[in-house]
Structure 1
Amino acid sequence: MPRIDARALLGLHDPADATDWGPIRAAQMNAGSQLALFMLAANLVGAALVAMILSPIVPVWALAAWGALAAAIACGVAFRRLAGRVRHAVTASLGDVRDTALDGIALGAVWSIPPLAFGHLAAVETALSLWIILSLLMTAGAVAMAALPLATIAFVTVLGLSMTAMLLLVAAPGLAAATLVFTALLAMTTIWRGKSLVVIRAHEIALAERDETVSLLLRESQDTSADWLWEIDAQRRVSRANPGFTLSIGADPATINGTPFLQLVAGPSWDSGEFGPGLRELAARLKAREPFRDLLLSVQVGSDQRWWQMSAAPRFDERGSFIGFRGVGSDVTEAQHSAARINRMARYDTLTGLPNRLLIHETLALAMADAEKWGSRCAFMMIDLDRFKAVNDTLGHPIGDRLLGRVADRLRQLMSENEMIGRLGGDEFAVVIHDAADSAATERLARTIIDTLSRPYEVDQHTLYIGASIGLARGPRDGRTAETLIRSADLALYRSKDAGGGVFHAYEPQLHLAAEERRVLEIALRNAVGNDEMHLQYQPVVDADSGKLTGFEALLRWTHPELGPVSPAKFVPLAEDARLIGPIGEWVLRAAIAEAARWETPVRVAVNVSPEQLHNPNFVSVVAQALNQSGLPPERLELEVTEGVFMRQGTVAVQVLEKILDLGIRLSLDDFGTGYSSLGYLSRTRFSSIKVDRSFVQAASRGAKEAIAIIRAVVALADSLGMATTAEGVETEEEHLMVRRLGCTKVQGYYFGRPLPAHEAHALTVPKTSAAAAA
C-alpha cells in the first residue's frame, strides 16, 4: 500500500503534495453515509438490549431518559450522514472531516453512561452481558464508520475506556485488559481500512483524470491538424488515419489506406534509401513490435522540413495474435524551431554572432577528446584586444560594441574548417584548432590574427587603432582537460600582455610558477600594511638653476620578512589589479603628510595618487582629515596624478580634483606624453606643474631628436599655461645641463639624490645655520 499521511487521513492536516485531498475527503464523507442507517439500527437495538439487561437494578425513568438521549444522538448522527450535501459533494474541507469527531465523541459519551453510571451496581454476570453488547456495538461502529477514522477512533476510544473502568470496578482486571487490547485493535483496523479507501479513491480519481485527458486529446486530434491518430496492420500498412494525419502528410485521404506506413513517413527519401536516425528507430520499433513514446522524426512534406513526435503501442487480438500498431502523432515543428533558437541564444554571442564561452568550451572538450583518441594535438588561443578599453572610455560603449563587431568579422574571415572562433566576453576572443599537428601553421595563424586586428578601423567617422595579444596552449601537452588548457592559454596571454601587447606567447611550464608567485605575493600584500612591512623613502626635487631643495617625492617601498625587498614595479600593478591600491594609497598619503609636517624647512612633499583613489568621492575627506591631524599647510602638499584618471567616463574624478584644488593643494601631471596625451586634460584642470618622464630625458641625452622636441614642446606648453616643469630621472651632470638648457624648472634623479629614508630626508630640511649651531 502506498504511504498515506495519517494526519491527512484523519482530517488533521492538508499535505503539500501533488494529491488533491478535497475529492478524497468527499469520498470519505460519502462512504460514511452509506452505512448510516445500519449504525442507527445498531444503536437502537443496542439501547433496547441494554435497557432490558439493566431493568432489574436501574429505575425505569432513568433507563427511559438514557434511551431517549441515545436515540436522539443516534438519529442526529444518521441524519447528518444522510444529508444531501454530504452524499453528493465532490469535494470536502478539513473542517468537514474534523466535525465528524464530534459525532464519535457524542455517541461514545452517551454509550459510556450505562457502564459508568450503572455497571458497578450490577452483578458480574450482568456486567459481562453489558460488556458483550457494548463490544458488539463498538464492532458495528468500526464497520459502519470505518471511512471516517477520526469519528470511529473517538467513538471506540471513549466507549472502550468506559468499559475498562466498569470492569475494574467489578473486579474483572483480565477483561479490562482485554478490552483495552480490543479497543486498540479496532482503532488500528479502522486506520488500515481508511487507508485502503483513500488509496482506492485516489486511483479512481487518477484514472478518471487520465480518461478525461485521453478523451480530450482524442477530440482535439479529430479536429486539428497538429495532433492526429493512426493505425497500421500487421504488414505495417495504414489501416485507418484521421483527417489530421492525411493533411499533415500531404496525402490523398481516399487512397492513404493500404499504403506502407514507412513509405508515407519517409517521403522523397524512400526511393533513395537515405533515412534519418529517427526513421531508422521507428522502423526498428515497428519490426520488433515494441511500444515507443515521443519518438522525434524529421519529415519532408512537400518543400517543407517538418518535425513530428510520435507514440504508439502494438495491438493484439483476443487470441494474442499481433494485428498491428495504434498510435498518435503531433507536429512539433514550431517547438523544435523555438528550441533551436533557444539553443543558439545559449551558445552564441548576441553582439558578434560568434560562439560564446559555453560553445567554445564544448568544442574544445570535443577537440581534446579527438586528440586523445587519435594521438594527435589540438590547440587553444586566447585573444585579448590591446587599447580597447581606451576606445570604450573615450568614445563610449556603442562605438566599442560596433568595433567588436568589426573585429569579429575580420576574425571570421581568417578561420577555416579546422578552426572555430568565438567570443569569451568583453574584449576577449578564443580560437579552437582541432588539428594542431603543424606547429608552424598554428604560429602563422597567431601572427596573422595580430596583424589583421592591428590594421586601422573606420567606425562612425572615427579612425581607431587597436591591437591584439595572444596566449597559445596545445593539448594534451599543456593540459589534459579543457579547463586546464584554457588556464594554460590564459597564463601565456598574461605574458604577452606583460611584454607590452601586440605579440603572442606559447605556454611554458614556468608560467605556472609565475602565477603561483603572483598568488603568494598578493596574499602577502593584503597584510603588508597591517604587518608594518611598508615604509616611505623621499627623493629630493631641486630647482634646475640654483640646485636648491624645493621638496621631496614620497616613494613607497615594501620589505617582506621572507621575500625580502619587493620591487614597486612588481607590487604596485598587483595592488591595482587586486583592488588594494585604495587602502595602501591612503596609508602612503597619511604617512607622507605626517612626515612632512616634521620638516624644519617648509618644502613640499609630492605624493602619487592612483586613479582608483580619485574615483572615490570620499578621497577629499581623507586628504582634509590627514592635513588637519598633522597641521601641514595645504600648499605644501602636491598630488601627482597620471592621465589615466581622465580615461574613464561618468566618474567623479574631475570634481574630486577641483575640490582638492579648492583646499589649496597643488596638482602635478605625471608621465605626460607617455599615455593618452590630450591638451583637454590641461585645460579642464588647474595643474601646477608637468613632469617629463625619465624615458624622454634619457633619450634626449643620447641625442634623440624626437625626445628633445617633445621636451621643448612640453616646456613651451607649460610656460604658456603658467606651469612648472619637472624633469625626472636626471642621473648625470650632462643630463642636468641639458634639461636646464631646454627650459625645465625643476629636476629630480640620482644626480641630486637617491630616495632617502625619512630621517635622512628630515636632515636635509634642517637649515645650515641650525645644523652648524648644533655641531
Structure 2
Amino acid sequence: MKSLLTDQIFADDIPARTLLGLGPRDEDVGDLRQLQLAPLRGKGSLRLWMGLGMALVAALTMVLRVPVAIAGAWFAVALLFSLWSYRAFASLAIGELKLSGLPEYRLCHRHAFYSAMLWSSTFWLQGVPTLDHVLSIWTIALLMMLTLAMIAHSMPMICILYIAPVSLSAAVALVRAGAPQLAAVALVAALLLCTSCIRFAKTHVRFRRAEETLHEKNETVSLLLREFEETSADWLWQTDNARRLVHVSPRLAYALGASAEGLEGVPLLQALSGDAWETGQFPRSLHDIAERMKRRESFSNLIVPVTIGGKPRWWELSASPRLDETGKFLGFRGVGSDVTEQRASAEQIAKMARFDNLTGLPNRLHLNEELARALKHANDAKSRCALLMIDLDRFKAVNDTLGHPVGDKLLAQVAARLKSMMDRGMTCGRLGGDEFAVVLQDVPSALDAEDLAQRIIAAVSRPYVVDNHQLFVGASIGFAIGPQDGATVETLTRNADLALYKSKDKGGNLVAAYVASLHAQAEERRVMEQELRGALDRGEFEMYYQPVVTAADGTLNGFEGLIRWNNQKLGNVSPGRFIPLAEDSRLISPIGEWVLRTACHEAMRWPSNLKVAVNVSAEQLTDPAFASVVVSALAQSGLPPERLEIEVTESVFLRDGGGAAQLLDQLISLGIRLSLDDFGTGYSSLGYLRKTQFSTIKVDRSFVVGAAKGSIESIAIIRAVVALADSLGMSTTAEGAETEVEVDTLRALGCSNIQGYYYGRPMPASDVLTLFRRPDSLDTEAA
C-alpha cells in the first residue's frame, strides 16, 4: 500500500485526501509535506504584518458596535497570537527536503484553526449585528482568506481550517442581520475558495515534482558528459567569464599538443590561433567565434582552422554560455571535435558536384555561378561580360562510328585545348555532352569576344589523334554580351544559346552573335513546328516531281519526288526550312512514310519504264521498322521494287554505327535501287561505295556550275566521279543543269543522267501525267 500511495504522489493525479492529510497514519507520502510547506519558507514576516494590519482594521471596525474595552482586548489577543505564531515558525526548518516535515505540517494546521477561532469571534462579540457592520467584518475576513490562499495555496487543509469556521460564522451573522441570501453567497464563496485551494495544491506539487525531475536529469546529463569526455574521441572545453580556458581535460590538451597545466588560463582564441596570435591575422571563423563569445551567444557546429604541430587541422566547435542561479555569466562550456578528414571528404564531394569528372572543367553549376559573378561585376563596374556557347561539329559521328570511349578521350583533348587558351578573367567549362561554354569578364567589345571565338574554332578544328585514329571535329559558337543582351544568368544563357543555334543553322564551324531578331526567329520556328505537327492530318503536303533524263539523248527515264508544304498561316514553306525542323522534332519519320507511299502510288500511273526517286533522311534509317514501311508501300501500290530508287547522303553513315548500312543492304536485296546524293560535298569516303552497292552517284550542282565555267577542279572531280562509277558498275546523275552549256559540258564529261531546270522544273502529279500525252514535250522544251 505504501508503494502504491508513493507512486500516486509522484503521478499527475494526486489523491485529495493525501493532500489534505486525511490518509492513514502509516501512509508513505515521501517528501510531499515538505513540497507543500516550501511556499511558506521565508513568509513569516509577511504573515505577521498581514495579521497585525488586518487585526487593527477589524478592531477599529468593531469599535463602532462594541465597547472599546472588548475591541481592545480582542486586538490584544490577536497581537499576541500573531507574535506567538511568528516565533513558533521562525525556528522551524520549513520546506527542507531532507526532513519529513510532518511536525511542521501539523503545527500549521493547529495555527490555522486557532486563527479561525480568533477571527470567527468578531462576528459574535457584537450581539445582534447590523447588516452594514457584518458586511464590513466579512470583507476584512474575506481579504484574509484570499491572502492566505495565495500564501498557503500548496496546503489546502490550512485554507479549509481557516475558511470554513470564518465563513460559517459570517453566514450565521448575516442570517441574524436579516440577509439570508448574502449568507448563502458567503457559504458558496467559501466552498469555491476551498475547492480552488485543493486544485492549486495539486498543480503546485506537480510543478515542484517536475522541477525535481529536471534537476535529476541535469545531474544525469552532467554524469554522461563526464563519461563522454573520458571515452569519446571528442572533447569538452570550458572558459571563465574572461574567455580563458579552465578545467582543461587531458583529451583537449592532447588535441592541442600541450599540457593541461600549461593551457589553464590561456585565452581560447590564443590556443586555437597558434602562431597567428602574435600577428593578429586570424581566420574569419575565429573572428566569428570571438564576436559570439563577446556577445555571450551560443554557437553550434562552427568549423575553424587550427594549426597543431605545424600541420593545419579543422575543428568543429559548439558552446553555450554558463550562468549561475542568479543569472550571473560564468563563461562558456562546449564540445569540440577534429573534422579534418570529414572536411577533406566534403571538399572532394563539393568538387565533384561543381566540376566535370571527364574533363576536369567546371560544370554547368559552376559556370552559372561564374556568370552570375561576371554579371554583378559588370553592373558594378559599368563594364561588359560575355558568354560563349560552344557545340562541337561532327562529334556524334565519332561517337557512333568509333564508340563512346574514343569519344570521351576526344572530349578530354578538346577540353585541354580550351583550357590552354584561357587567360585571366576567363572560365571555361563543360555543359554536358559535346557542349562547352566560356565566361569572360571585362570584355572591351563584342569584337574581342568574337575574336576569341574564332581562335577557339581554329584550335578545336586542328586534327586529333586518339587510339591511332586521326579525328577531325569543328565547333559552332554563339555568344551574348552582358548585361546588354541579358541582365540575368538565365536570360544571357538563353540568348547565347539562340546565337549558337543560328551558327549551327548556317552549317556550323561559324561564330554568331546574339541579335534581338533571333527571338523572332525562335518564335517563328516554334510556330512552324506547331503547324508542322498537324500538317499531315490537314492534308497540307503535296508531292512535286522533277524529270531525270538520259544525258546522251535526253530520254525521260524517271522523276525525283520532292515534297512541298502549303500552310494556311505560313503559306508555301521551303523544304530547306521545314525538313531540318522535322528531323529535329522527330516528325520526319511519319512525313517520310507519307512521301514514300504517295510517290509509289503515283508512279504506278506512269509508264512502266519510268522510276521514281525518293529522298530518305538519316533519321528514317535509324528506325528499324523502315524496311517494313518500304515493303508495305510497294505492296499497297503494286510498284515493282526496281522502279523505286532510295536517295541517301553520306551523313547516314556518319550518324550510325552500322545499322543504316545493314538496312540499306536489306532494301537492295529486295531489288530497290540505291542512290548516293551530294557525293563529294560532305565527308566523302570510298569505303561507303565499297560496303554498299549503290546504283547511282549524284553529282552536286556546285560542281556542275564550276565545270561549265571552266573550273579545272570541278571538271577533275566530275571526271573522277564518272570514272569511279563506271568502274564500279554505277551510273551518274548530275543535278542542277539549267543552261545548254552546262548540259553540253556534262555530256562531254560522260555523265549518265542529267536533272535540272533545263529539262523541267518540279511539277505536281497532274502535270506529270500531261507529259505522257505529249511524248516529245521534253525534246521540244530542250530545243
Query: What's the TM-score once normalised by structure 1's chain length?
Result: 0.71
Q: Please give the alpha-carbon distance, in whole angstroms, between the structure 2 residues aligned to 1:728 and 1:205.
A: 99
Q: Please give the alpha-carbon distance, in whole angstroms, between the structure 2 residues aligned to 1:421 and 1:770.
A: 63
1:219 maps to what in 2?
227
Residues 472-551 of structure 1: pairs in structure 2 closer than 5 A:
472-551=479-558
8 Å CA contact retained: 2:678, 2:699: yes
**1:526 shift after superposition:** 1.1
Q: Match for 2:282 among 253, 275, 280?
A: 275
Q: Please give the alpha-carbon distance, in whole angstroms, between the structure 1 residues aligned to 2:777 and 2:745.
A: 34
1:597 maps to what in 2?
604
Assess, with a 3 A threshold, how the Cα gap between structure 1 residues 718 and 323 changes in structure 2: closer, same or farther: same
Residues 72-111 of structure 1: pairs in structure 2 closer than 5 A:
none
**1:266 shift after superposition:** 0.9
Q: Please give the alpha-carbon distance, in whole angstroms, between the structure 2 residues aligned to 1:455 and 1:731.
A: 38
2:671 maps to what in 1?
664
Q: Match for 2:659 among 646, 652, 655?
A: 652
Assess, with a 3 A threshold, how the Cα gap between structure 1 residues 416 and 745 changes in structure 2: closer, same or farther: same
**1:553 shift after superposition:** 0.5
The answer to whether structure 1 residue 754 and structure 2 residue 766 are counterparts is no
8 Å CA contact retained: 1:315, 1:324: yes
Residues 666-685 of structure 1: pairs in structure 2 closer than 5 A:
666-685=673-692
Q: Match for 1:735 among 717, 733, 742?
A: 742
Assess, with a 3 A threshold, how the Cα gap between structure 1 residues 509 and 288 changes in structure 2: closer, same or farther: same
**1:235 shift after superposition:** 2.2
Q: For 1:548-602, what per-residue CA distance to the aligned partner results, in whole angstroms no more than 9, with x for missing partners?
A: 1101000011111222111111111111111111110000001101100111343
Aligned residue type for 1:286:
M
The answer to whether structure 1 residue 300 and structure 2 residue 307 are counterparts is yes
2:474 maps to what in 1?
467
**1:212 shift after superposition:** 7.7
**1:649 shift after superposition:** 4.0
Identity %: 56
Assess, with a 3 A threshold, how the Cα gap between structure 1 residues 362 and 765 changes in structure 2: closer, same or farther: same
8 Å CA contact retained: 1:715, 1:743: yes
Any idea what SS the aligned residue of 2:243 has?
A: coil
Any idea what SS the aligned residue of 1:529 has?
A: helix
Any idea what SS the aligned residue of 2:572 has?
A: strand
8 Å CA contact retained: 1:601, 1:767: no
Q: Please give the alpha-carbon distance, in whole angstroms, between the structure 1 residues aligned to 2:373 and 2:753.
A: 63
**1:239 shift after superposition:** 1.1
**1:498 shift after superposition:** 2.7
Q: Match for 1:721 among 725, 728, 743?
A: 728
| Structure 2: gaps (5+ residues) | 1-6, 19-205, 779-783
Q: Please give the alpha-carbon distance, in whole angstroms, between the structure 2 residues aligned to 1:522 and 1:213.
A: 70
8 Å CA contact retained: 2:250, 2:259: no
Q: CA RMSD in A?
A: 3.2
Q: Match for 2:356 among 349, 361, 368?
A: 349
Assess, with a 3 A threshold, how the Cα gap between structure 1 residues 590 and 216 changes in structure 2: closer, same or farther: farther
Aligned residue type for 2:770:
A
Residues 601-612 of structure 1: pairs in structure 2 closer than 5 A:
601-612=608-619
Assess, with a 3 A threshold, how the Cα gap between structure 1 residues 726 and 322 changes in structure 2: closer, same or farther: same
Assess, with a 3 A threshold, how the Cα gap between structure 1 residues 257 and 498 changes in structure 2: closer, same or farther: same
Q: Please give the alpha-carbon distance, in whole angstroms, between the structure 2 residues aligned to 1:480 and 1:549.
A: 61
Assess, with a 3 A threshold, how the Cα gap between structure 1 residues 209 and 676 changes in structure 2: closer, same or farther: farther
Q: Please give the alpha-carbon distance, in whole angstroms, between the structure 2 residues aligned to 1:252 and 1:206.
A: 36
**1:352 shift after superposition:** 0.6
1:374 maps to what in 2?
381
1:764 maps to what in 2?
771
2:707 maps to what in 1?
700
Q: Match for 1:262 among 259, 263, 269?
A: 269
**1:467 shift after superposition:** 2.4
Q: Please give the alpha-carbon distance, in whole angstroms, between the structure 2 residues aligned to 1:640 and 1:284.
A: 78
**1:313 shift after superposition:** 1.7
**1:384 shift after superposition:** 1.6
**1:201 shift after superposition:** 13
Q: Please give the alpha-carbon distance, in whole angstroms, between the structure 1 residues aligned to 2:641 and 2:216.
A: 88
Assess, with a 3 A threshold, how the Cα gap between structure 1 residues 203 and 683 changes in structure 2: closer, same or farther: farther
Assess, with a 3 A threshold, how the Cα gap between structure 1 residues 652 and 223 changes in structure 2: closer, same or farther: same
Q: Please give the alpha-carbon distance, in whole angstroms, between the structure 1 residues aligned to 2:248 and 2:504.
A: 68
**1:257 shift after superposition:** 1.2
Q: Please give the alpha-carbon distance, in whole angstroms, between the structure 1 residues aligned to 2:278 and 2:472.
A: 58
Any idea what SS the aligned residue of 1:687 has?
A: coil
Q: Please give the alpha-carbon distance, in whole angstroms, between the structure 2 residues aligned to 1:398 and 1:612.
A: 24
Residues 163-174 of structure 1: pairs in structure 2 closer than 5 A:
none
Q: Number of aligned pairs?
A: 585
Q: Match for 1:450 among 444, 451, 457?
A: 457
**1:430 shift after superposition:** 0.8
Q: Please give the alpha-carbon distance, in whole angstroms, between the structure 2 residues aligned to 1:199 and 1:524.
A: 77
**1:654 shift after superposition:** 2.1
Assess, with a 3 A threshold, how the Cα gap between structure 1 residues 408 and 758 changes in structure 2: closer, same or farther: same
Residues 17-96 of structure 1: pairs in structure 2 closer than 5 A:
none
Assess, with a 3 A threshold, how the Cα gap between structure 1 residues 652 and 448 changes in structure 2: closer, same or farther: closer
Assess, with a 3 A threshold, how the Cα gap between structure 1 residues 732 and 354 changes in structure 2: closer, same or farther: same
8 Å CA contact retained: 2:446, 2:481: no
8 Å CA contact retained: 1:537, 1:755: yes
Q: Please give the alpha-carbon distance, in whole angstroms, between the structure 1 residues aligned to 2:598 and 2:774.
A: 23
1:284 maps to what in 2?
291
Q: Please give the alpha-carbon distance, in whole angstroms, between the structure 2 residues aligned to 1:589 and 1:211.
A: 89
Assess, with a 3 A threshold, how the Cα gap between structure 1 residues 744 and 259 changes in structure 2: closer, same or farther: same
8 Å CA contact retained: 1:349, 1:356: yes
**1:473 shift after superposition:** 0.7
Assess, with a 3 A threshold, how the Cα gap between structure 1 residues 442 and 770 changes in structure 2: closer, same or farther: closer
Q: Match for 1:616 among 608, 619, 623?
A: 623
Q: Please give the alpha-carbon distance, in whole angstroms, between the structure 1 residues aligned to 2:610 and 2:277.
A: 96
Q: For 1:254-277, what per-residue CA distance to the aligned partner results, in whole angstroms no more than 9, with x for missing partners?
A: 412122211001112111111112
Assess, with a 3 A threshold, how the Cα gap between structure 1 residues 631 and 222 changes in structure 2: closer, same or farther: same
Assess, with a 3 A threshold, how the Cα gap between structure 1 residues 447 and 679 changes in structure 2: closer, same or farther: closer
Aligned residue type for 2:356:
D
The answer to whether structure 1 residue 436 and structure 2 residue 443 are counterparts is yes
Assess, with a 3 A threshold, how the Cα gap between structure 1 residues 734 and 275 changes in structure 2: closer, same or farther: same
Q: For 1:527-547, what per-residue CA distance to the aligned partner results, in whole angstroms no more than 9, with x for missing partners?
A: 111111110100011111121
Q: Please give the alpha-carbon distance, in whole angstroms, between the structure 1 residues aligned to 2:330 and 2:218.
A: 26
1:116 maps to what in 2?
none
Assess, with a 3 A threshold, how the Cα gap between structure 1 residues 665 and 765 changes in structure 2: closer, same or farther: farther
Assess, with a 3 A threshold, how the Cα gap between structure 1 residues 553 and 344 changes in structure 2: closer, same or farther: same
Any idea what SS the aligned residue of 2:478 has?
A: strand
Aligned residue type for 1:381:
L
**1:348 shift after superposition:** 0.5
8 Å CA contact retained: 1:615, 1:652: yes
8 Å CA contact retained: 2:734, 2:751: yes
Residues 225-244 of structure 1: pairs in structure 2 closer than 5 A:
226-244=233-251
8 Å CA contact retained: 1:689, 1:724: yes
Q: For 1:331-362, what per-residue CA distance to the aligned partner results, in whole angstroms no more than 9, with x for missing partners?
A: 12222222211111111100111100111112
Assess, with a 3 A threshold, how the Cα gap between structure 1 residues 654 and 461 changes in structure 2: closer, same or farther: closer
**1:318 shift after superposition:** 3.9
8 Å CA contact retained: 2:430, 2:436: yes
